[in-house]
Amino acid sequence: MGSPLRRTPVALVVAAVLLLMLAVVALTFLGLFGSLRPEVTTVFIQALAMSSLMAMVPLGILWFLDRRERETPWLFLVAFLWGAVMGTGLALPFNNAILRRIAAWVQQNPAIVEILGPQAPLLLGAPIAGPLVEEVTKGLGLLLFFFFLRAEFDNVRDGFVYGALIGLGFNWFEAPLYIAQAYAEFGVAAWGIHLGLRYALFGLSGHAMFSGIFGAFLGLALQTRRGWVKVVAPLIGLALAVAAHALNNVLPLFFALRGAAQGEPRAVEEVPAIGLIDAWLGGSILALTIFLPFVIIMAVLLWRSGVWERRVIREELAEEIGRTVSPSDYQQILRDSIFRTRRIDRLRPALSAGIVRAQHELAFRKWRVRNEGKDPEADPLVAAWRKKIESLDQLARRARASSVSSGVGQK
């Protein structure tokens, strides 16, 4: 509802552009995996399986965060796969191009290699290529959700969830690539350091946090009624994502420069022998110290978005009492808390969850229509959600009646 994709010319152009981008990504991956030795490919597949297991935790957290206006599972999958496939596939050629240019410059300045060692091109290039390229390729997916799925992108919480899913998908695919790369270069599969560090803070640090912050500020642009905030918020969100990513990538360069200043001999190029648990603990502590401002921003955005969601549900459903919300339902709405989501009938959890979700969708849609200066009573999607709630209520009543009659028959 309200998406530009409802217009056929727009849909055809968008589909053509996406197919072209997908073709570029497919060629990139064919070149990448075609150059790997068979044993390296095996290590990549094993690492991808381990990464999939570790991604279950942050996916569960994001599923919980989205519980009041839960998106469909296919939309979760689309966001995740954008980060995993399109985000990484589009970033790879641009990252490599920037790193090649920096490597050529370093080759003309051998003093830099004397200071930083043979990894100088990577140490200098990572803080430039990664933040600028990867935040843009991941952000493209967020912008597609923002512009083309308007009925599914309402507020700060939606933006954070979509952004974190895209970042998580990017991390899910990138971590095995680094493990395979280390194995190809050193003959050692660095499971611990790459998976432990990249899934620190239960998987919500790194790419998930960077893209989640950008998505949250995009959601703020939708949620606010102030015109200047609608313009400035996305720019601030993208700047914060790039800054956090740059800070993450500049740390190895900082440590290398500090070691050179103190006259420490450059370490022999090898994969650090760090276990998974130790790397995860170290990465989590690092995220809570060096990245503390960004962690606080993420936590505050999530907390305020939850407050906003509960307020909108209370206010918009107050006038639905006796229509799509019963008085007892509304009393449960008033008791809803930050970690607790109401249930209407615990004996029928699936049906109960469907009714609650439809009521919440109705509330957010009414707010969205009011925010655009229109009348909710004339909105077709508001009418559709009311009809959906009525249909689910009828199913619930028939289920209760069937249970009562079955109980009487048994007696």
- Model confidence band, residue 409 (pLDDT cutoffs 50, 70, 90): very low
- Strand pairing partners for 184? none
Distance of alpha carbon 299 from alpha carbon 179, whole angstroms: 30
Distance of alpha carbon 124 from alpha carbon 103, whole angstroms: 9
pLDDT at 410 over 80: no
Write the CA distances from 79 to 76, 139, 307, 343, integer angstroms. 5, 11, 25, 28
| pLDDT, position 242 | 96
Distance of alpha carbon 2 from alpha carbon 151, whole angstroms: 7
Q: Say which residues have a Cβ less than 8 Å from residue 45's Cβ, sequence separation at least 6.
A: 176
Instruction: Please name the residue that has the structure tokens 């308007």.
Output: 150
Percentage of the chain exceeding pLDDT 90: 57
Mean pLDDT score, 124-148: 93
Alpha helices in 224-348 (DSSP H): 227-261, 276-289, 292-318, 327-335
Q: How many residues does the chain have?
A: 411
Amino acid letter, 119? Q
Q: Say which residues have a Cβ less than 8 Å from residue 290's Cβ, sequence separation at least 6.
A: 247, 251
- Tens-place pLDDT, residues 318-368: 999 988 998 888 988 988 888 777 777 665 777 888 888 899 999 999 998
327 burial level (CB within 10 Å; 0-12, 13-18, 19+): exposed
| pLDDT, position 182 | 86
261 burial level (CB within 10 Å; 0-12, 13-18, 19+): exposed
Percentage of the chain exceeding pLDDT 70: 94
- Tens-place pLDDT, residues 260-288: 777 765 554 566 678 889 889 998 998 89
- Model confidence band, residue 237 (pLDDT cutoffs 50, 70, 90): very high
- Identify which of 242, 218, 213 has the alpha carbon closest to the alpha carbon of residue 230: 218
Instruction: Please name the residue that has the structure tokens 């009624």.
Output: 225
Element (H, E) at 72: none
| pLDDT, position 46 | 94
> Which residue has better confidence, 81 or 351?
81
- Model confidence band, residue 116 (pLDDT cutoffs 50, 70, 90): confident
Helix (H, G, I), strand (E, B) or coil at 273: coil
- Tens-place pLDDT, residues 210-226: 999 999 999 999 888 88
- Model confidence band, residue 97 (pLDDT cutoffs 50, 70, 90): very high
Mean pLDDT score, 203-215: 95
Mean pLDDT score, 47-73: 91
Calculate the CA 17 to chain-centre distance: 23
Q: Say which residues have a Cβ less than 8 Å from residue 328's Cβ, sequence separation at least 6.
A: none
- Model confidence band, residue 408 (pLDDT cutoffs 50, 70, 90): very low
The answer to whether 84 and 170 are in contact (CB under 8 A) is yes
